Amino acid sequence: MSSLEQAASRALAMMDLTSLNDDDDDAAIRTLCRRTDTPYGAPAAVCLYPAFIDAADRELTAMGIRDRVRIATVTNFPDGSVNVERACRETRAAVAAGADEVDVVFPYKALIGGDAESGRALVAACRDACGDRLLKVILETGELEDPALIRQAADIALECGADFLKTSTGKVAVNATLEAADILLSAIRDSGRDVGFKAAGGIRSTEDAKAYLDLAAGIMGEAWLTPAHFRFGASGLLDALLATLSGDDTQPTGGGY
């Protein structure tokens, strides 16, 4: 197996196969779930709007893979409001509906404006609302832009109980970048906490995925690279990984998140 094929195999197991489209419906989510059953194993999770948690649960259960594919959802999404009550209400509802993981958007606009306390309050409150479920904090690094602000947001999220730092919503002009990933991974390393990293938005090729895996291995070590610590939030990436693994370079890679 080539190094690219090895990267594809590893990345597939680390994917949060994502559908966060305005026109999603139960049928689209059932189709998304069916895509997780590949000849090369299943992604770590599906990621979808809270309204579709039940549809995903039913489909994955019917497929016999609910114990292997987790359900992730989004809250305070995509705007990153400073409304802590809203974010907590959405997070509690997602957990009650059966989500295994919650990706909450950090109030990044407030931080840009000099307000760090809103971020602390929101992450801490959502940590409590999540209970024993995984909390991923979306920092929207492309909007923060300044490396110092990205690091500040990462440190706040880490201090307040994030289980994962996630780059992006996939809903802005600049989403995941290697530069931002470097900052988040370095913050995780420096914290000494057992926290994961999720690159989301714009990762569409096996080569893209490999670059992030190589970066993470250099900062955190090869042994750290497991689905418990590393995720890709993407939709079109799955087709690219399958094309690499099957040797079918003509397979379309798709677009999207």
What does residue 228 show for φ and ψ, rounded to 5 degrees? -70, -20
The pLDDT value recorded for residue 169 is 98
Structure tokens at 201: 């938005």
Alpha helices in the chain (DSSP H): 3-13, 26-34, 53-63, 84-97, 108-112, 117-130, 141-144, 147-159, 178-191, 206-220, 237-246
The pLDDT value recorded for residue 256 is 59
Structure confidence by residue, pLDDT tens digits, 84-143: 999 999 999 999 999 999 999 999 999 999 999 999 999 999 999 999 999 999 999 999
Task: Catalytic residue, from 166, 208, 210, 239: name it.
Answer: 166
Nearest to 21 by CA among 2, 47, 56: 47
The pLDDT value recorded for residue 1 is 78
Nearest to 44 by CA among 227, 210, 177: 227
| Cis, bond preceding 78 (omega within 30 deg of 0) | yes
Assess whether 166 carries a catalytic annotation.
Answer: yes
What would the mean pLDDT of 233-249 be, rounded to a whole number?
94
Assess whether 136 carries a catalytic annotation.
Answer: no
Place of tokens 């990933």: 181
Contact of 16 with 46, CB cutoff 8 Å: yes
The pLDDT value recorded for residue 110 is 98
Contact of 234 with 169, CB cutoff 8 Å: no
Structure confidence by residue, pLDDT tens digits, 91-100: 999 999 999 9
Contact of 96 with 59, CB cutoff 8 Å: no
Strand partners, 137: 104, 165
Assess whether 109 carries a catalytic annotation.
Answer: no
Burial 66-94 (b: 16+ CB within 10 A, else e): beebbbbbbbbbeebbbebeebbebbbeb
pLDDT band at 205 (very low <50, low <70, confident <90, very high): very high
Nearest to 198 by CA among 96, 101, 120: 101
Structure confidence by residue, pLDDT tens digits, 34-61: 999 999 999 999 999 999 999 999 999 9
Distances (CA, A) of 30 to 90, 109, 231: 23, 34, 22
Task: Catalytic residue, from 57, 163, 198, 239: name it.
Answer: 198
pLDDT band at 257 (very low <50, low <70, confident <90, very high): confident
CA gap 242, 239 in Å, rounded: 5
The pLDDT value recorded for residue 253 is 46
Structure confidence by residue, pLDDT tens digits, 186-195: 999 999 999 9
CA 127 distance to own-chain centroid? 16
- List all residues 6 or more positions away from 57 whose beta carbon is below 8 Å from its beta carbon: 66, 71, 98
The pLDDT value recorded for residue 250 is 53
Instruction: Give percent of the chain with pLDDT exceeding 90.
Output: 96
The pLDDT value recorded for residue 6 is 97
* Mean pLDDT rounded to a whole number for the chain: 96
The pLDDT value recorded for residue 251 is 47
248 pLDDT above the threshold of 90: no
What would the mean pLDDT of 146-166 be, rounded to a whole number?
98
Walk me through the domains of the chain, giving residue ranges and CATH numbers.
3-246 (3.20.20.70)
Task: Catalytic residue, from 16, 57, 100, 103: name it.
Answer: 103
CA gap 197, 231 in Å, rounded: 6
